[in-house]
Amino acid sequence: MQISEGARLGEVDRRALRKALAVLKDGGVLAMAPEGTCSDTGALQQGKEGTAYLAARTGAPLLPVVAYGQEKMFSSLLRGRRAEVHVIYGRPFALPSMPGRVSKRQLQEFTEQIMLGLAGMLPLACRGVYSIGGLADR
Protein backbone atom coordinates (compact mmCIF):
# COMPACT_ATOMS: atom_id res chain seq x y z
CA MET A 1 0.00 0.00 0.00
CA GLN A 2 1.31 3.41 -0.88
CA ILE A 3 0.70 6.82 0.57
CA SER A 4 -2.51 8.22 -0.91
CA GLU A 5 -2.41 11.18 -3.22
CA GLY A 6 -2.61 14.33 -1.12
CA ALA A 7 -1.22 12.62 2.01
CA ARG A 8 1.92 14.06 3.53
CA LEU A 9 4.92 12.03 4.60
CA GLY A 10 4.97 11.61 8.38
CA GLU A 11 1.24 12.20 8.79
CA VAL A 12 -1.49 9.60 9.22
CA ASP A 13 -2.89 8.64 5.82
CA ARG A 14 -6.53 8.08 6.74
CA ARG A 15 -7.46 6.66 3.33
CA ALA A 16 -4.67 4.07 3.51
CA LEU A 17 -5.67 3.27 7.09
CA ARG A 18 -9.29 2.62 6.06
CA LYS A 19 -8.09 0.38 3.19
CA ALA A 20 -5.78 -1.55 5.54
CA LEU A 21 -8.60 -2.07 8.06
CA ALA A 22 -10.86 -3.34 5.26
CA VAL A 23 -8.21 -5.77 4.00
CA LEU A 24 -7.65 -7.21 7.48
CA LYS A 25 -11.35 -7.40 8.32
CA ASP A 26 -11.87 -9.34 5.07
CA GLY A 27 -9.18 -11.85 6.13
CA GLY A 28 -6.46 -10.43 3.87
CA VAL A 29 -2.77 -10.07 4.60
CA LEU A 30 -0.63 -6.92 4.91
CA ALA A 31 3.14 -6.59 5.11
CA MET A 32 4.18 -3.58 7.15
CA ALA A 33 7.34 -1.98 8.46
CA PRO A 34 6.29 -1.08 12.03
CA GLU A 35 8.82 1.75 11.92
CA GLY A 36 6.80 3.32 9.12
CA THR A 37 9.73 3.02 6.72
CA CYS A 38 12.67 0.81 5.85
CA SER A 39 15.96 1.47 7.61
CA ASP A 40 18.90 2.61 5.49
CA THR A 41 21.39 1.30 8.06
CA GLY A 42 19.69 -1.98 8.86
CA ALA A 43 19.24 -0.97 12.52
CA LEU A 44 15.80 -0.69 14.08
CA GLN A 45 14.29 2.77 14.32
CA GLN A 46 11.59 3.96 16.71
CA GLY A 47 8.37 2.06 16.03
CA LYS A 48 5.23 3.86 14.90
CA GLU A 49 1.81 2.91 16.22
CA GLY A 50 0.12 1.94 12.92
CA THR A 51 0.83 -1.78 13.11
CA ALA A 52 -0.35 -1.97 16.72
CA TYR A 53 -3.47 0.03 15.88
CA LEU A 54 -4.46 -2.23 12.99
CA ALA A 55 -3.76 -5.43 14.94
CA ALA A 56 -5.67 -4.26 18.03
CA ARG A 57 -8.66 -2.97 16.04
CA THR A 58 -9.04 -6.10 13.90
CA GLY A 59 -7.63 -8.91 16.05
CA ALA A 60 -5.39 -9.87 13.11
CA PRO A 61 -2.44 -12.06 14.11
CA LEU A 62 1.07 -10.71 13.64
CA LEU A 63 3.87 -12.72 12.06
CA PRO A 64 7.15 -11.08 13.07
CA VAL A 65 9.78 -11.10 10.32
CA VAL A 66 13.20 -9.46 10.46
CA ALA A 67 15.89 -9.17 7.83
CA TYR A 68 19.45 -8.00 8.13
CA GLY A 69 22.44 -7.83 5.84
CA GLN A 70 20.51 -6.28 2.95
CA GLU A 71 21.99 -2.87 3.74
CA LYS A 72 25.36 -4.25 2.56
CA MET A 73 24.01 -5.89 -0.57
CA PHE A 74 24.69 -3.16 -3.14
CA SER A 75 28.17 -2.27 -1.89
CA SER A 76 29.07 -5.98 -1.91
CA LEU A 77 27.74 -6.43 -5.44
CA LEU A 78 29.77 -3.44 -6.64
CA ARG A 79 32.89 -5.20 -5.34
CA GLY A 80 31.86 -8.44 -7.05
CA ARG A 81 30.95 -10.16 -3.79
CA ARG A 82 27.80 -11.72 -2.48
CA ALA A 83 26.12 -10.20 0.51
CA GLU A 84 24.85 -12.47 3.23
CA VAL A 85 21.21 -11.57 3.88
CA HIS A 86 19.33 -13.19 6.75
CA VAL A 87 15.54 -13.42 7.04
CA ILE A 88 14.11 -14.72 10.31
CA TYR A 89 10.47 -15.55 11.00
CA GLY A 90 9.18 -15.46 14.57
CA ARG A 91 6.15 -17.10 16.09
CA PRO A 92 2.79 -15.56 15.19
CA PHE A 93 1.04 -13.76 18.04
CA ALA A 94 -1.96 -11.53 18.56
CA LEU A 95 -2.47 -8.38 20.54
CA PRO A 96 -5.60 -8.11 22.67
CA SER A 97 -8.45 -7.28 20.30
CA MET A 98 -9.98 -3.86 21.00
CA PRO A 99 -12.71 -3.20 18.44
CA GLY A 100 -13.52 0.22 19.93
CA ARG A 101 -11.21 3.11 20.61
CA VAL A 102 -7.65 2.18 21.58
CA SER A 103 -5.92 4.60 23.94
CA LYS A 104 -2.64 6.28 22.99
CA ARG A 105 -0.98 4.66 26.02
CA GLN A 106 -2.15 1.17 24.95
CA LEU A 107 -0.90 1.75 21.41
CA GLN A 108 2.48 2.82 22.74
CA GLU A 109 2.69 -0.29 24.93
CA PHE A 110 1.66 -2.57 22.06
CA THR A 111 4.17 -0.89 19.74
CA GLU A 112 6.93 -1.35 22.32
CA GLN A 113 5.97 -5.02 22.67
CA ILE A 114 6.13 -5.52 18.89
CA MET A 115 9.44 -3.70 18.51
CA LEU A 116 11.12 -5.43 21.46
CA GLY A 117 10.05 -8.77 20.00
CA LEU A 118 11.61 -7.86 16.65
CA ALA A 119 14.77 -6.58 18.35
CA GLY A 120 15.11 -9.88 20.20
CA MET A 121 15.27 -11.67 16.85
CA LEU A 122 18.14 -9.50 15.58
CA PRO A 123 21.85 -9.46 16.38
CA LEU A 124 22.82 -6.73 18.85
CA ALA A 125 24.34 -4.55 16.11
CA CYS A 126 20.96 -4.37 14.31
CA ARG A 127 18.74 -3.53 17.30
CA GLY A 128 19.19 0.20 16.88
CA VAL A 129 17.15 2.26 19.36
CA TYR A 130 15.99 -0.96 21.01
CA SER A 131 19.49 -1.96 22.13
CA ILE A 132 20.01 1.02 24.42
CA GLY A 133 20.14 -0.14 28.00
CA GLY A 134 19.44 -3.73 27.00
CA LEU A 135 15.74 -3.06 26.31
CA ALA A 136 15.60 -5.91 23.81
CA ASP A 137 17.12 -8.32 26.33
CA ARG A 138 14.20 -8.15 28.77
- Please give the mean pLDDT across all residues of the chain: 86
Q: How confident is the model at residue 99 (pLDDT cuts 50, 70, 90)?
A: confident
Question: How far is the C-alpha of 70 from the C-alpha of 11, rounded, in Å?
Answer: 27
Q: How confident is the model at residue 134 (pLDDT cuts 50, 70, 90)?
A: low
Helices in the chain by DSSP H: which ranges? 14-25, 50-58, 73-78, 104-120
C-alpha separations of 90 from 6, 66, 68, 95 in Å:
36, 8, 14, 15
pTM: 0.81
pLDDT at 87 over 80: yes
- Total number of residues shown for the chain: 138
